[in-house]
Amino acid sequence: MSFFSNLFKFGSQNMAIDLGTANTLVYVQDQGIILNEPSVVAIETISGIKRVKAVGDDAKMMMGKTPDTIEAIRPLRDGVIADIEIAEEMIKHFIRKVHGKRNLFRYPEIVICVPSGSTSVEKRAIRDAASNAGASEVHLILEPMAAAIGADMPVTEPVGSMVVDIGGGTTEVAVLSLRGLAYTTSVRTGGDKMDEAIVSYVRRHHNLLIGDATAERIKKDYGIAVIPEDGAGESITLKGRDLVNGVPKEITINQAHVAEALSEPIGAIVEGVRIALENTAPELAADIVDQGIVLTGGGALIRRLDEHLREETGLPVSIAEDPLTCVAIGTGRAMEDPIYRGVLMTA
Protein backbone atom coordinates (compact mmCIF):
# COMPACT_ATOMS: atom_id res chain seq x y z
CA MET A 1 0.00 0.00 0.00
CA SER A 2 2.80 2.42 0.92
CA PHE A 3 4.34 1.95 -2.57
CA PHE A 4 1.06 3.00 -4.23
CA SER A 5 0.46 5.90 -1.86
CA ASN A 6 4.01 7.15 -2.51
CA LEU A 7 3.44 6.74 -6.26
CA PHE A 8 0.26 8.82 -6.04
CA LYS A 9 2.04 11.47 -4.00
CA PHE A 10 4.89 11.66 -6.52
CA GLY A 11 5.01 15.15 -8.02
CA SER A 12 2.26 16.40 -5.73
CA GLN A 13 2.63 19.69 -3.93
CA ASN A 14 1.72 19.73 -0.26
CA MET A 15 -0.45 22.68 0.57
CA ALA A 16 -1.78 24.60 3.53
CA ILE A 17 -5.27 26.07 3.33
CA ASP A 18 -6.63 28.94 5.38
CA LEU A 19 -10.32 28.13 4.92
CA GLY A 20 -11.77 31.47 5.98
CA THR A 21 -15.36 32.68 6.20
CA ALA A 22 -14.56 35.62 3.92
CA ASN A 23 -11.48 34.46 1.94
CA THR A 24 -9.64 31.21 1.27
CA LEU A 25 -5.85 31.36 0.94
CA VAL A 26 -3.74 28.49 -0.36
CA TYR A 27 -0.06 28.19 0.55
CA VAL A 28 2.00 25.73 -1.51
CA GLN A 29 5.13 24.15 -0.06
CA ASP A 30 8.33 26.02 -1.06
CA GLN A 31 6.30 28.57 -3.06
CA GLY A 32 4.30 30.57 -0.50
CA ILE A 33 0.76 31.91 -0.95
CA ILE A 34 -0.32 31.43 -4.54
CA LEU A 35 -4.10 31.77 -4.24
CA ASN A 36 -6.24 34.28 -2.34
CA GLU A 37 -9.91 34.30 -3.34
CA PRO A 38 -13.30 34.92 -1.67
CA SER A 39 -14.99 31.87 -0.11
CA VAL A 40 -18.02 32.11 -2.41
CA VAL A 41 -19.56 29.55 -4.79
CA ALA A 42 -22.20 30.37 -7.43
CA ILE A 43 -24.61 27.49 -8.07
CA GLU A 44 -26.76 27.39 -11.21
CA THR A 45 -29.97 25.31 -11.31
CA ILE A 46 -31.14 24.16 -14.75
CA SER A 47 -34.15 21.77 -15.00
CA GLY A 48 -33.75 20.91 -11.32
CA ILE A 49 -30.07 19.96 -11.72
CA LYS A 50 -27.54 21.99 -9.76
CA ARG A 51 -24.03 22.68 -11.03
CA VAL A 52 -21.18 24.96 -9.99
CA LYS A 53 -21.11 28.02 -12.22
CA ALA A 54 -18.28 30.02 -10.59
CA VAL A 55 -16.02 29.95 -7.55
CA GLY A 56 -13.98 32.64 -5.80
CA ASP A 57 -13.57 36.07 -7.40
CA ASP A 58 -16.04 35.36 -10.23
CA ALA A 59 -18.72 34.18 -7.77
CA LYS A 60 -18.15 37.14 -5.41
CA MET A 61 -18.96 39.58 -8.24
CA MET A 62 -22.36 37.89 -8.61
CA MET A 63 -23.41 38.29 -4.94
CA GLY A 64 -26.66 40.23 -4.63
CA LYS A 65 -26.97 40.47 -8.43
CA THR A 66 -28.08 36.99 -9.49
CA PRO A 67 -31.23 35.89 -11.39
CA ASP A 68 -33.52 33.21 -9.91
CA THR A 69 -31.58 30.35 -11.54
CA ILE A 70 -28.24 31.28 -9.93
CA GLU A 71 -27.46 31.45 -6.22
CA ALA A 72 -24.20 32.82 -4.77
CA ILE A 73 -23.48 30.88 -1.56
CA ARG A 74 -20.87 31.29 1.16
CA PRO A 75 -20.34 27.71 2.42
CA LEU A 76 -18.68 28.88 5.66
CA ARG A 77 -20.49 30.76 8.39
CA ASP A 78 -18.95 31.86 11.69
CA GLY A 79 -15.72 30.11 10.77
CA VAL A 80 -17.25 26.64 10.31
CA ILE A 81 -18.66 24.76 7.32
CA ALA A 82 -22.38 25.46 6.95
CA ASP A 83 -22.77 23.57 3.65
CA ILE A 84 -20.46 20.55 3.41
CA GLU A 85 -21.16 19.69 -0.27
CA ILE A 86 -20.55 23.21 -1.53
CA ALA A 87 -17.44 23.58 0.67
CA GLU A 88 -16.12 20.36 -0.89
CA GLU A 89 -16.70 21.74 -4.41
CA MET A 90 -14.91 24.94 -3.42
CA ILE A 91 -11.88 23.11 -1.98
CA LYS A 92 -11.73 20.86 -5.10
CA HIS A 93 -11.84 23.92 -7.35
CA PHE A 94 -9.00 25.64 -5.48
CA ILE A 95 -6.85 22.47 -5.43
CA ARG A 96 -7.35 22.07 -9.20
CA LYS A 97 -6.56 25.74 -9.76
CA VAL A 98 -3.31 25.43 -7.80
CA HIS A 99 -2.23 22.10 -9.31
CA GLY A 100 -3.56 22.52 -12.82
CA LYS A 101 -4.41 19.35 -14.77
CA ARG A 102 -0.83 18.44 -15.64
CA ASN A 103 -0.72 15.24 -13.65
CA LEU A 104 -3.42 12.81 -12.56
CA PHE A 105 -1.24 11.40 -9.77
CA ARG A 106 -1.47 14.43 -7.56
CA TYR A 107 -2.64 13.63 -4.07
CA PRO A 108 -1.13 16.26 -1.81
CA GLU A 109 -0.85 16.37 1.95
CA ILE A 110 -3.07 19.21 3.16
CA VAL A 111 -2.98 21.23 6.38
CA ILE A 112 -6.17 23.20 7.12
CA CYS A 113 -6.70 25.66 9.94
CA VAL A 114 -9.86 25.52 12.06
CA PRO A 115 -11.28 27.90 14.70
CA SER A 116 -10.34 26.97 18.28
CA GLY A 117 -14.03 26.68 19.20
CA SER A 118 -14.76 24.02 16.53
CA THR A 119 -16.49 20.87 17.75
CA SER A 120 -15.21 17.42 16.78
CA VAL A 121 -18.12 17.16 14.29
CA GLU A 122 -17.10 20.44 12.62
CA LYS A 123 -13.45 19.34 12.47
CA ARG A 124 -14.48 16.03 10.91
CA ALA A 125 -16.58 17.88 8.30
CA ILE A 126 -13.54 19.95 7.28
CA ARG A 127 -11.31 16.87 7.18
CA ASP A 128 -13.84 14.91 5.09
CA ALA A 129 -14.25 17.82 2.65
CA ALA A 130 -10.47 17.93 2.07
CA SER A 131 -10.20 14.10 1.79
CA ASN A 132 -13.02 13.98 -0.76
CA ALA A 133 -11.33 16.80 -2.67
CA GLY A 134 -8.29 14.56 -3.22
CA ALA A 135 -5.98 14.93 -0.21
CA SER A 136 -3.92 11.89 0.76
CA GLU A 137 -3.44 13.11 4.33
CA VAL A 138 -5.22 15.88 6.20
CA HIS A 139 -3.84 17.66 9.25
CA LEU A 140 -5.58 20.41 11.19
CA ILE A 141 -4.11 23.38 13.03
CA LEU A 142 -5.95 25.75 15.36
CA GLU A 143 -6.40 29.22 13.87
CA PRO A 144 -4.87 31.27 16.74
CA MET A 145 -1.78 29.02 16.69
CA ALA A 146 -1.40 29.50 12.92
CA ALA A 147 -1.88 33.28 13.32
CA ALA A 148 0.79 33.42 16.05
CA ILE A 149 3.30 31.42 13.94
CA GLY A 150 2.60 33.69 10.95
CA ALA A 151 3.14 36.77 13.13
CA ASP A 152 6.58 35.45 14.27
CA MET A 153 5.52 35.07 17.90
CA PRO A 154 7.62 32.83 20.20
CA VAL A 155 5.08 29.97 20.35
CA THR A 156 7.66 27.22 20.96
CA GLU A 157 9.28 28.96 23.96
CA PRO A 158 8.11 28.97 27.61
CA VAL A 159 6.88 32.55 27.21
CA GLY A 160 3.24 33.64 27.31
CA SER A 161 2.05 35.58 24.28
CA MET A 162 -1.43 36.73 23.29
CA VAL A 163 -2.89 36.83 19.80
CA VAL A 164 -6.26 38.26 18.73
CA ASP A 165 -7.21 37.02 15.25
CA ILE A 166 -10.21 38.97 13.90
CA GLY A 167 -11.54 37.00 10.95
CA GLY A 168 -14.70 37.20 8.85
CA GLY A 169 -16.84 34.96 11.05
CA THR A 170 -15.06 34.68 14.40
CA THR A 171 -12.51 36.44 16.57
CA GLU A 172 -10.02 34.04 18.11
CA VAL A 173 -8.41 35.21 21.36
CA ALA A 174 -5.64 32.96 22.67
CA VAL A 175 -2.75 32.86 25.11
CA LEU A 176 0.03 30.62 23.77
CA SER A 177 3.07 28.98 25.31
CA LEU A 178 5.23 25.92 24.51
CA ARG A 179 3.45 24.92 21.25
CA GLY A 180 0.05 24.90 22.96
CA LEU A 181 -2.90 27.08 23.84
CA ALA A 182 -2.84 27.95 27.54
CA TYR A 183 -6.23 29.64 27.17
CA THR A 184 -8.45 30.26 24.18
CA THR A 185 -11.87 31.70 23.52
CA SER A 186 -13.73 32.06 20.24
CA VAL A 187 -16.04 35.09 19.94
CA ARG A 188 -18.63 34.67 17.17
CA THR A 189 -18.05 38.26 16.04
CA GLY A 190 -15.92 39.31 13.09
CA GLY A 191 -15.99 41.16 9.79
CA ASP A 192 -19.44 39.79 8.84
CA LYS A 193 -21.03 41.09 12.05
CA MET A 194 -19.43 44.49 11.37
CA ASP A 195 -21.00 44.53 7.88
CA GLU A 196 -24.38 43.60 9.37
CA ALA A 197 -24.03 46.36 11.99
CA ILE A 198 -23.44 48.96 9.25
CA VAL A 199 -26.46 47.72 7.21
CA SER A 200 -28.64 47.80 10.34
CA TYR A 201 -27.44 51.30 11.38
CA VAL A 202 -28.14 52.83 7.94
CA ARG A 203 -31.58 51.18 7.81
CA ARG A 204 -32.50 52.33 11.33
CA HIS A 205 -31.26 55.92 11.10
CA HIS A 206 -31.73 56.76 7.41
CA ASN A 207 -34.47 54.35 6.16
CA LEU A 208 -32.05 53.20 3.47
CA LEU A 209 -31.41 49.56 2.58
CA ILE A 210 -27.85 48.85 1.41
CA GLY A 211 -26.30 45.54 0.33
CA ASP A 212 -23.58 43.55 2.11
CA ALA A 213 -21.03 44.47 -0.58
CA THR A 214 -21.63 48.21 0.04
CA ALA A 215 -21.35 47.71 3.82
CA GLU A 216 -18.08 45.80 3.36
CA ARG A 217 -16.66 48.60 1.20
CA ILE A 218 -17.57 51.20 3.86
CA LYS A 219 -15.94 49.07 6.58
CA LYS A 220 -12.72 48.63 4.58
CA ASP A 221 -12.40 52.23 3.38
CA TYR A 222 -13.82 54.18 6.32
CA GLY A 223 -14.09 51.76 9.28
CA ILE A 224 -12.82 53.29 12.53
CA ALA A 225 -12.99 51.99 16.12
CA VAL A 226 -13.36 55.35 17.88
CA ILE A 227 -15.17 58.57 16.95
CA PRO A 228 -12.70 60.87 15.11
CA GLU A 229 -11.25 63.80 17.06
CA ASP A 230 -13.17 66.38 15.02
CA GLY A 231 -16.43 64.53 15.81
CA ALA A 232 -17.19 63.72 12.17
CA GLY A 233 -14.22 62.48 10.08
CA GLU A 234 -14.51 61.84 6.36
CA SER A 235 -17.84 61.98 4.51
CA ILE A 236 -19.19 58.89 2.74
CA THR A 237 -21.77 58.77 -0.04
CA LEU A 238 -24.09 55.74 0.02
CA LYS A 239 -26.52 54.43 -2.57
CA GLY A 240 -29.35 52.05 -1.81
CA ARG A 241 -33.12 51.63 -1.75
CA ASP A 242 -35.30 54.10 0.14
CA LEU A 243 -37.54 52.04 2.45
CA VAL A 244 -40.22 54.75 2.59
CA ASN A 245 -40.68 55.46 -1.13
CA GLY A 246 -39.19 52.23 -2.50
CA VAL A 247 -36.94 54.06 -5.00
CA PRO A 248 -33.12 54.17 -5.27
CA LYS A 249 -31.62 57.01 -3.23
CA GLU A 250 -28.27 58.52 -2.27
CA ILE A 251 -27.32 59.79 1.20
CA THR A 252 -24.18 61.08 2.94
CA ILE A 253 -22.91 59.87 6.33
CA ASN A 254 -19.56 60.37 8.06
CA GLN A 255 -16.97 58.29 9.91
CA ALA A 256 -18.45 59.13 13.31
CA HIS A 257 -21.63 57.31 12.20
CA VAL A 258 -19.54 54.30 11.10
CA ALA A 259 -17.76 54.26 14.50
CA GLU A 260 -21.17 54.32 16.21
CA ALA A 261 -22.39 51.44 14.01
CA LEU A 262 -19.28 49.36 14.77
CA SER A 263 -19.31 50.01 18.52
CA GLU A 264 -21.28 46.83 19.35
CA PRO A 265 -19.17 44.24 17.42
CA ILE A 266 -15.94 45.96 18.55
CA GLY A 267 -17.24 45.95 22.14
CA ALA A 268 -17.78 42.16 21.88
CA ILE A 269 -14.16 41.70 20.73
CA VAL A 270 -12.84 43.85 23.62
CA GLU A 271 -14.96 41.81 26.05
CA GLY A 272 -13.49 38.57 24.63
CA VAL A 273 -9.97 39.92 25.23
CA ARG A 274 -10.89 40.91 28.80
CA ILE A 275 -12.29 37.45 29.57
CA ALA A 276 -9.09 35.84 28.21
CA LEU A 277 -6.91 38.10 30.38
CA GLU A 278 -9.01 37.29 33.48
CA ASN A 279 -8.52 33.56 32.88
CA THR A 280 -4.78 33.69 32.20
CA ALA A 281 -2.37 32.16 34.72
CA PRO A 282 -0.36 34.80 36.69
CA GLU A 283 3.05 33.85 35.19
CA LEU A 284 1.69 34.04 31.65
CA ALA A 285 -0.10 37.31 32.44
CA ALA A 286 3.24 38.76 33.56
CA ASP A 287 4.74 37.82 30.15
CA ILE A 288 1.81 39.44 28.31
CA VAL A 289 2.51 42.73 30.12
CA ASP A 290 5.98 42.65 28.49
CA GLN A 291 5.07 41.03 25.16
CA GLY A 292 1.75 42.80 24.64
CA ILE A 293 -1.14 41.73 22.40
CA VAL A 294 -0.72 41.10 18.66
CA LEU A 295 -3.68 41.70 16.31
CA THR A 296 -4.05 39.62 13.13
CA GLY A 297 -6.82 39.01 10.58
CA GLY A 298 -8.67 41.45 8.34
CA GLY A 299 -10.41 43.08 11.32
CA ALA A 300 -7.01 44.28 12.59
CA LEU A 301 -7.05 46.80 9.71
CA ILE A 302 -9.97 48.75 11.23
CA ARG A 303 -8.43 52.14 11.96
CA ARG A 304 -7.47 52.93 15.56
CA LEU A 305 -8.61 49.51 16.82
CA ASP A 306 -5.16 48.91 18.34
CA GLU A 307 -5.40 52.30 20.09
CA HIS A 308 -8.88 51.48 21.44
CA LEU A 309 -7.74 48.07 22.73
CA ARG A 310 -4.68 49.67 24.33
CA GLU A 311 -6.92 52.10 26.23
CA GLU A 312 -9.33 49.37 27.34
CA THR A 313 -6.69 46.88 28.57
CA GLY A 314 -3.72 49.11 29.50
CA LEU A 315 -1.42 46.69 27.60
CA PRO A 316 0.83 47.32 24.58
CA VAL A 317 -1.04 46.37 21.37
CA SER A 318 0.59 45.91 17.97
CA ILE A 319 -0.67 44.86 14.54
CA ALA A 320 1.07 41.96 12.73
CA GLU A 321 3.14 42.89 9.67
CA ASP A 322 0.65 41.43 7.19
CA PRO A 323 -2.52 40.67 9.18
CA LEU A 324 -4.53 39.36 6.20
CA THR A 325 -2.11 36.55 5.36
CA CYS A 326 -0.81 35.71 8.86
CA VAL A 327 -2.95 32.59 9.30
CA ALA A 328 -2.09 31.19 5.84
CA ILE A 329 1.65 31.85 6.34
CA GLY A 330 1.55 30.27 9.81
CA THR A 331 -0.32 27.20 8.48
CA GLY A 332 2.30 26.87 5.72
CA ARG A 333 5.21 27.18 8.15
CA ALA A 334 3.67 24.55 10.43
CA MET A 335 3.59 22.20 7.42
CA GLU A 336 7.16 22.94 6.27
CA ASP A 337 9.14 23.52 9.47
CA PRO A 338 9.83 20.50 11.74
CA ILE A 339 9.95 22.86 14.76
CA TYR A 340 6.21 23.49 14.40
CA ARG A 341 5.07 19.98 13.32
CA GLY A 342 4.03 19.28 16.92
CA VAL A 343 1.16 21.78 16.70
CA LEU A 344 -0.61 19.83 13.92
CA MET A 345 -3.43 17.45 14.81
CA THR A 346 -5.76 14.99 13.13
CA ALA A 347 -9.56 15.11 13.43
What's the confidence (pLDDT) of residue 12? 62
What's the confidence (pLDDT) of residue 5? 43
pTM of the model: 0.88
In angstroms, the CA 273 to CA 288 distance is 12
Q: For 204-226, write each residue's pLDDT tens digit.
A: 999 999 998 899 999 999 999 99
* Residue 278 CB coordination number (10 Å): 9
In angstroms, the CA 220 to CA 324 distance is 12
What's the confidence (pLDDT) of residue 10? 43
In angstroms, the CA 309 to CA 315 distance is 8
What's the confidence (pLDDT) of residue 1? 44
What's the confidence (pLDDT) of residue 225? 95
What's the confidence (pLDDT) of residue 87? 86
Helix, strand, coil proportions of the chain in percent (round to 5)? 40, 30, 30
Low-confidence stretches of the chain (pLDDT < 50) are 1-11, 104
What's the confidence (pLDDT) of residue 347? 57
Q: What is the largest CA-CA distance in the chain?
A: 70
What's the confidence (pLDDT) of residue 104? 47
Q: Of 217, 187, 181, which is closest to residue 202 (Cα–Cα)? A: 217
